[in-house]
Amino acid sequence: MDVGRLERPPEPNPPSPPPFAATLELCGGERCATARSTEEVAQALRGELHRAGLDPELVLRRGPCRGLCAAGPVMAVNPPGTLYCGLTPGDAGEIVRETVAGGRLIRRLLYQEPFEVQALPLARDLPFFRKQVRIALRNCGVVDPERIDDYIARDGYRGLGKVLTEMPPEHVIREMKESGLRGRGGAGFLTGLKWEICRNSASSPKYVICNADEGDPGAFMDRSILESDPHSVLEGMAIAAYAIGAGQGFIYCREEYPLAINHLQTAIAQAHEYGLLGENILGSGFSFDIQLKEGAGAFVCGEETALIASVEGRRGEPRPRPPYPVVRGLWGQPTNINNVKSYAMTPQIILNGARWFSSIGTPNSPGTAVFALTGKVNNTGLIEVPMGISLGDVIFDIGGGIPRGRPFKAVQTGGPLGGCLPASSLNTPVDFDSLSEAGAVMGSGGMIVVDDDTCMVELAKYFLTFAAAESCGKCVPCRIGGQRLLEALTRITEGRGTRRDLARIKDIADNMMSASLCGLGQRTPGPVLSALRFFQDEFISHIDEKICRAGQCKALVRAKCVNSCPAGVDTPSYLALTAAGRFAEGLEIHRQRNPFALVCGRACPAFCERKCRRGEIDEPVAIRLLKRFMADQEIARPWTPQPVVAPDQLRAASVRRIAIVGSGPAGLTAALRLAQRGYRVTVFEKLSFPGGMMSWAIPQYRLPRELLDAEIDNIRRAGVEIVCNKELGRDFTIDELLGRDGFAALVLAVGAHRSRRMGIPGEDKPGVMNGIEFLRALALAQSSGGGAAPDVRGRRVGVVGGGDVAIDVARAAWRLGAREVHVIYRRAGEHMPATHLPEEIEAARQEGVQFHTLVNPIEVLGEERVTGVRLQQQRLGEFDSSARRRPVPLEHETYDLALDMLIPAVGQVPETAWSRDDQIETARSGTLVVDDAFCTPRQGVFAAGDAVSGPATIVQAVAQGNLVAVAVDHWLRTGTLQKPIFDTTPANIPIQYDLAEYAGAHRPAIPRLGVEQRRGSFQEVELGFDAETARQEAHRCLRCDLEWHEMMQASAAESR
Amino acid sequence: MTTNQEIVSTAPPVNLTINGQPVQGRPGQTVLEAAAAAGIHIPTLCHHPALPPEGSCRVCLIEIERQRGLQPACAFPVAQGMNVRSDTEKVIAARRFALQMIFSERPHYCMFCQVSGGPAETDCELQRLAYEHGIDCWDYPPDAAKPWPVDASRRYFVMDHSRCILCRRCVRACAAIAANHTLGVLHRGTRSMICADDDAPLGESSCVSCGTCLQVCPTGALIDRTAAYRGHAVTGRRTRASCLGCAVGCGIEAVTRGNQLLRIDGDWTAPNGGLLCVTGRFEALDSGRHRVTTPMLRRNGALEPVGWDEALTAVAGRLRTAAGVGGLASPRMTTEALVAFTCFFNEVLNSDEVGLLRGEVPPLDLGATATLADVARADCIVIVGGDPLENQKVLGYLAKRALDRGARLVVVSDAATGLDDRAHLRLRLDSVAHAGATPFELLRYSYHLRLDGISQLRSQIQTAARPVVMYGGGLSTAVHAALRALPDKTRFLPLIEGANAAGAARLGLAPRPLRQEVLYVLIGDDLPNGHALPAADFTIAQAAYHTSWTEKADALFPARTWAEKEGSFLNIEGRECTLVPILEPPHHIEPDWVTLTRLAAAMDRPFMLGAISDNADSPLARPKEATRPS
* pLDDT grade for B627, boundaries at 50, 70 and 90: very low
Q: Has residue A13 got a pLDDT over 70? A: no
**Closest Cα in chain A to B181:** A314
Which pLDDT band, with edges at 50, 70 and 90, does A919 fall under?
Answer: confident
Cβ-Cβ contacts under 8 Å, B57 against chain A? 475-476
Mean pLDDT of A821-826: 94
DSSP letters, A890-925, are: EEEEEEEEE-SEEEE---EE---GGGGGTT--B-TT
Find, in chain A, the residue whose alpha carbon is nearest to that of B56.
A475
* Predicted confidence band of residue B7 (pLDDT cuts 50, 70, 90): very low
Q: What is the pLDDT of residue A8?
A: 44
Q: Residues of B with CB below 8 A from A476's CB? A: 56-58, 98, 101-102
Lowest-pLDDT choice from B42-51, B76-85, B376-385, B523-532: B523-532
pLDDT for residue A726: 94
Give the one of A320, A323, A511 whose C-beta lies nearest to B97's C-beta: A511
Mean pLDDT, rounded, for A941-960: 94
Running DSSP on this structure, what letter comes out for residue A695? H
**pLDDT category of residue B456 using cuts at 50, 70 and 90:** confident
**A441 pLDDT above the threshold of 80:** yes
pLDDT score of A67: 65
In angstroms, how far is CA A983 from the centroid of its own chain? Answer: 30
DSSP letter (8 states) at residue B157:
E
**Top-confidence residue, B532 or A916:** B532
- pTM of the full structure: 0.86
Q: What is the pLDDT of residue A1015?
A: 87
A contacts of B61 (beta carbons < 8 Å):
515
Could you tell me the pLDDT band of residue B596, with boundaries at 50, 70 and 90? very high
Pairing of strands A941-943, A796-800: unpaired
Residue B374 to chain A, least CA–CA distance (Å):
23
**Closest residue, chain B, to A203 (C-alpha):** B1
Which candidate in A314, A480, A486 is best for mutational testing of the B interface (most B CBs within 10 A)? A480
> Which residue did the predictor score with more confidence, A762 or A65?
A762
Rounded average pLDDT over A172-197: 94
- pLDDT band for position B438 (50/70/90)? low
- Structure confidence at residue A115 (pLDDT): 43
> How distant is the Cα of A319 from the closest Cα of chain B, in angstroms?
7
Higher pLDDT, B544 or A72: B544
Inter-chain contact A504–B140, Cβ cutoff 8 Å?
yes
pLDDT for res B399? 96
Which among A320, A471, A481 has the least Cβ separation from residue B101? A481
Which residue type is seen at A754?
Answer: R
Identity of the residue in B54, B98, B185 whose CB atom sits nearest the CB atom of A515: B98
Candidates A639, A813, A631, A773; CA nearest to A704 is A631
Which pLDDT does position A1 carry in this prediction? 39
B102–A320 C-beta distance less than 8 A: no
What pLDDT was estimated at residue A80? 65
pLDDT digits (tens, 9 = 90+) for A340-373: 999 999 999 999 999 999 999 999 999 999 999 9
Q: Is the pLDDT reported for residue B625 higher than 60? A: no
Least confident of A943-957, A958-972, B220-234: B220-234
**What's the half-sphere exposure (Cβ side, CA atoms, 13 Å) at A346?**
37
Considering CB atoms only, which of B53, B77, B188 is closest to A473?
A: B188
Q: A601, A608 in Cβ contact below 8 A?
A: no
Helix (H, G, I), strand (E, B) or coil at B14: strand
Across the interface, whether the CB atoms of A483 and B189 are under 8 A apart is answered: yes
Please tell me the number of Cα atoms within 13 Å of B381 on its side-chain side: 34
Query: For residue A823, what is the enclosing H or E element?
Result: strand A820-825
pLDDT band for B424, please (50, 70, 90 cuts): very high
Contact B216, B51 (CB under 8 A): yes
CA separation for the pair B413, B394 (Å, rounded): 20
> Can you list the alpha helix ranges (DSSP code H) found in B283-345?
308-321, 335-343
Task: Name residue A411's beta-bridge partners.
Answer: A421, A449
Average pLDDT over residues B400-420: 92
Q: State the sign of the Cα–Cα–Cα–Cα dihedral A960, A962, A967, A968.
A: positive
Question: In angstroms, rounded to a whole number, what is the distance separating the alpha carbons of residues A700 and A718?
Answer: 26
Res. B112: pLDDT tops 90: no
Q: Are the Cβ atoms of B184 and A315 closer than 8 angstroms?
A: yes
Contact A420, A534 (CB under 8 A): yes
What gap in Å lies between CA B545 and CA B325, rounded to an integer?
23
Chain A: give the shortest CA distance to residue B433, in Å.
39
Nearest CA in chain A to B190: A479
> Where residue A25 falls among pLDDT bands split at 50, 70, 90?
confident
pLDDT digits (tens, 9 = 90+) for A774-788: 999 999 888 876 778
If you average pLDDT over residues A588-596, what whole number do you get? 96
How near does any CA of chain B get to the CA of A256, in Å?
A: 19
Strand partners, B538: B518
Query: What's residue A129's pLDDT?
Result: 75
Give A167 to chain B, closest Cα distance, Å. Answer: 29
Per-residue pLDDT, A381: 86
Task: Kindly determine whether residue A475 and residue B57, on different chains, have CB atoms separated by under 8 Å.
Answer: yes
Q: Given an 8 Å threshold on Cβ–Cβ distance, is B188 in contact with A470?
A: yes
pLDDT tens across B337-378, in order? 999 999 899 989 988 899 999 888 888 888 899 999 999 999
Flag the least confident range among A768-777, A959-968, A1021-1030, B450-459.
Answer: B450-459
Nearest Cα of chain B lies from the Cα of A483 at a distance, in angstroms, of: 7
User: Any idea how long chain B is?
Assistant: 630
User: Which 3-state string (H, E, C) describes A40-75?
Assistant: HHHHHHHHHHHHCCCCHHHHEEECCCCCCHHHCCCE
Which positions in chain B touch A470 (Cβ < 8 Å)? 188-189
> Residue A853: in which H helix or E strand, if any?
strand A850-853
Distance CA A502, CA A489 (A): 9
Cβ–Cβ below 8 Å for A471 and B76 = no
The mean predicted confidence, pLDDT, of chain B is 88
- Other beta carbons within 10 Å of A483: 22
The region of weakest confidence among A522-526, B10-14, B130-134, B510-514 is B10-14
User: What distance in Å separates residue A979's CA from the closest CA in chain B?
Assistant: 27
Which residues of A make CB contacts under 8 Å with B? Answer: 203, 298, 300, 315, 319-320, 322-323, 468-477, 479-484, 504, 507-508, 511, 513-517, 522
**B98 near A CB under 8 A:** yes
- CA of A261 vs chain B CAs: smallest distance (Å): 26
The better pLDDT of the pair A43, A262 is held by A262
Query: How close A245 gets to chain B, by Cα (Å)?
Result: 17
CB contact under 8 A, A476 and B102: yes
Residue A562 has pLDDT above 80, yes or no: yes
B-chain residues near A299 (CB < 8 A): none
- Tell me how close the Cα of B609 comes to any Cα of chain A, in angstroms: 58
> DSSP string spanning B176-218?
IIS----EEEES-GGG-EEEETTTB-GGGSS-----HHHHH-S
Residues A825 and A851: beta-carbon distance below 8 Å: yes
Summarised one tens digit per residue, pLDDT across range A293-335 is 999 888 999 999 999 999 999 999 999 999 999 999 999 999 9
Residue B617 pLDDT: 47
CB contact under 8 A, A515 and B61: yes
Answer whether residue B450 shows pLDDT above 70. no
Percent of chain A past pLDDT 70, that is, above it, reads 94
* Cβ–Cβ gap B189/A471 under 8 Å: yes
Nearest to B190 among A483, A504, A516 (CB): A483
Across the A/B interface, how many CB contacts are shorter than 8 Å?
98
Question: SS3 for A17?
Answer: coil
pLDDT confidence of B609, banded at 50, 70, 90?
A: low
Test B189 with A481 for CB contact under 8 angstroms.
Answer: no
Which residue in B has a C-alpha nearest to residue A511's C-alpha?
A: B94
Do the chains contact at A298 and B188, CB–CB below 8 Å? yes
Q: Which of A164-173, A748-757, B9-18, B261-270 comes out lowest in average pLDDT?
A: B9-18
Mutate to test the interface with B, among A206, A324, A475 (most CBs of B within 10 A): A475
A305 Cα to chain B: minimum distance (Å): 13
Instruction: Show residues of chain A in contact with B69, CB under 8 Å.
Output: 513-516, 522
Q: Per-residue confidence at B318, pLDDT binned at 50, 70, 90?
A: very high
The single-letter DSSP state of residue A294 is E
Report the 10 Å Cβ neighbour count for B38: 15
